[in-house]
Amino acid sequence: MAAWATGQQSTATLPAPPTFVDQTVRMIVHPRADGRLVRIRLSNTFGDRPVTFGRSTVGLSAGGGAVVTGTLRAVTFGGAASTTVPAGREALSDPVPLDVKAGGDLAVSVYLPTDTGPATYHRAAYQTNYVSVAGDHTADTAATGFTTTAGHYFFLDSVSVGGTSSAGTVVALGDSITDGSGSAGSYHRWPDVLAGRIPRQSVVDEGIAGNKVLSDDAVSGASVLHRLDRDVLSQPGLRTVIMLEGINDLRSTTPPATAAQIIAGYRQIIARVHARGARILGATITPVEGSARYDANMEQQRQAVNTWIRTSRAFDGVVDFAATLADPADQLRLLPAYDSGDHLHPDNAGYQAMGNAVDLKLLR
C-alpha cells in the first residue's frame, strides 16, 4: 500500500544544481497508512549518471533530524546494503520490519558516497530535511551530524507499507495547487485535509508546481501524460485518482493549449487509469482572474474545460473545486478569504475548503 509519495523533478537546469559526495541526506515523510513492513523507492529518474546509495536506513522520527532510539532499521536492495541506480531508473527496497502509524513521521536516510551529479528531487517539500557533514550518518539517531537543512526531497520517490489495514490508495494528481503553493507550514494541503477525513484509505500527493497535462517542462517536470505510469499507476493499492490539472497548459505554454487539446489529454488519462482498474475523479480548474498572465482567452478555455468536466460523465465523478473557491460576488475570482495573495493559489483556509469539498461517497 502506498503510504507517501512525491513527484520527481530535474535539477539540471538550476543555476547551481544540488549534488552530493560523501554525504548523508535524512528526509522526513508523513505516511498516510499503518503497516508492519516498510519499503522505499529511490529515484534517479533525471540523473545524468548512475547514483550509488551506499547505505540507507528508515526509522521513526523523534523530531527535527533525530530518530527514535531502537527504531532505526537498515534498508536492503536485493539483500545488499548498497545499490547503484542507473540514470533514468528507480530502485525498490526489500521490505523492512517496522511498525508504522498513519500520521506519524518517518526518517529516511541515504548515504551518497560518490558524486551524484545533478540530483533528482522534489522541489517544494514543505518539510525540513537534513544534509550531513562528510560521511555515512545513516545509523545516527542523533541529529548532530546533520548540519544543513533543505526544503526539498532528494532521490526519494515513495514509501509503501505492508501488513496494512488500509482499504486502498487515493492519488491526488496535480500542479502547484495540489503541491501546496500558498500554504503556510506542513500538512495544510488539500490532500492532507482529505487524508484526515478518510483514515481507512491512504492519500498520497503527486502534485508538482507548474505541471501540465500535455507538455513537459525543464523545471516542473514531465507532463501528466508522460509521468502517469511512474507517479500514479505504479502506486500499490491504487483505488482512486483525483486529478486537478490544466491551468498551466492555459497560462504557461506558448501558444496556450486549447480546451479541446486539454480534454483530449484528459480522455487519454481516464482510459489509462481505467485500464489499471482504478477510478478517476475530475476536479474543475479553479478561478484565476487577477493572476499573472490572465486574459479573456484563458478564461474562455477554462470555462469550456470545466463545463466538459461537469457534464461529459467521462470521469467517475466530479470534484467542483472551482465552485468551492469562487467568490460568490465574482465567480471568476477566488474568494478573498481563500486567496493566498496571488489570485491563483489558495491559502490554508482555501485548502481546508478544498479538502472538505470532496464527496467521500465518490471514494467508496
State the sign of the Cα–Cα–Cα–Cα dihedral 176, 181, 182, 183: positive
Q: At 139, list the grid cell.
A: 545509523
Strands 279-283 and 317-319, bridge-based pairing: parallel
- For residue 102, the model assigns a pLDDT of 94
- For residue 34, the model assigns a pLDDT of 94
Portion of the chain with pLDDT greater than 70, in percent: 100
Q: Please check the confidence at residue 364 and state whether its pLDDT lies above 90.
A: no
Could you read off the pLDDT of 81-136 as tens digits, one per residue?
Answer: 999 999 999 999 999 999 999 999 999 999 999 999 999 999 999 999 999 999 99
Helix (H) or strand (E) holding 355: helix 348-357
Strands 326-327 and 55-63, bridge-based pairing: unpaired
Q: What is the pTM of this model?
A: 0.97
* Mean pLDDT confidence for 343-357: 98
Numbered ranges of CATH 2.60.120 in the chain: 2-160
Q: 126, 121, 31: which is closest to 345 by C-alpha?
A: 126
Mean pLDDT score of the chain, rounded to an integer?
A: 97
- Does CATH number 3.40.50.1110 belong to domain 167-363? yes
Which residues are CB-neighbours of 22 under 8 A, at least 6 positions away?
112, 113, 114, 134, 135
What's the maximum distance between 2 C-alpha atoms anywhere in the chain?
61
* Mean pLDDT confidence for 64-72: 98
Q: Please check the confidence at residue 52 and state whether its pLDDT lies above 80.
A: yes
Give CA–CA dist 179/190, Å, rounded: 9
Q: State the residue for C-alpha cell 490572465.
A: 294
Please state at what angle helix 259-275 crosses helix 296-311, rounded to 10 degrees: 30
Q: Please check the confidence at residue 76 and state whether its pLDDT lies above 90.
A: yes
Numbered ranges of CATH 3.40.50.1110 in the chain: 167-363
- For residue 165, the model assigns a pLDDT of 79
Portion of the chain with pLDDT greater than 90, in percent: 94
> What pLDDT band is residue 289 in, cutting at 50, 70 and 90?
very high
> What pLDDT band is residue 261 in, cutting at 50, 70 and 90?
very high
> What pLDDT band is residue 13 in, cutting at 50, 70 and 90?
confident
- For residue 359, the model assigns a pLDDT of 98
- For residue 221, the model assigns a pLDDT of 87
Give CA–CA dist 292/277, Å, rounded: 39
Q: At 97, list the grid cell.
A: 520490519
* Mean pLDDT confidence for 252-279: 97
Which residues are CB-neighbours of 129 under 8 A, at least 6 positions away?
25, 26, 27, 28, 149, 150, 151, 152, 153, 154
343: helix, strand or coil: coil
CB 118 within 8 A of CB 11: yes
- For residue 218, the model assigns a pLDDT of 82
Q: Please check the confidence at residue 185 and state whether its pLDDT lies above 90.
A: no
Whole-number Cα distances in Å, 341 to 121, 290, 345: 27, 10, 8
Give 302's DSSP letter: H
- For residue 186, the model assigns a pLDDT of 79
Q: How many residues are present in the chain?
A: 364
State the sign of the Cα–Cα–Cα–Cα dihedral 251, 252, 258, 263: negative
Give CA–CA dist 128/242, Å, rounded: 27
Could you read off the pLDDT of 16-31 as tens digits, one per residue?
Answer: 999 999 999 999 999 9
Topology given in CATH for the domain delimited by 2-160:
Jelly Rolls (2.60.120)
Q: Please check the confidence at residue 68 and state whether its pLDDT lies above 80.
A: yes
Could you read off the pLDDT of 217-244 as tens digits, one per residue?
Answer: 888 889 999 999 999 999 999 999 999 9
* Mean pLDDT confidence for 145-161: 98
> What pLDDT band is residue 343 in, cutting at 50, 70 and 90?
very high
Q: From the DSSP assignment, how many helices (H) and strands (E) are in the chain?
A: 8, 23
- For residue 101, the model assigns a pLDDT of 95
Q: 265, 269, 295, 293: which is closest to 280 by C-alpha?
A: 269
- For residue 150, the model assigns a pLDDT of 97
- For residue 271, the model assigns a pLDDT of 99
Which residues are CB-neighbours of 277 under 8 A, at least 6 positions away?
none
> What pLDDT band is residue 253 in, cutting at 50, 70 and 90?
confident
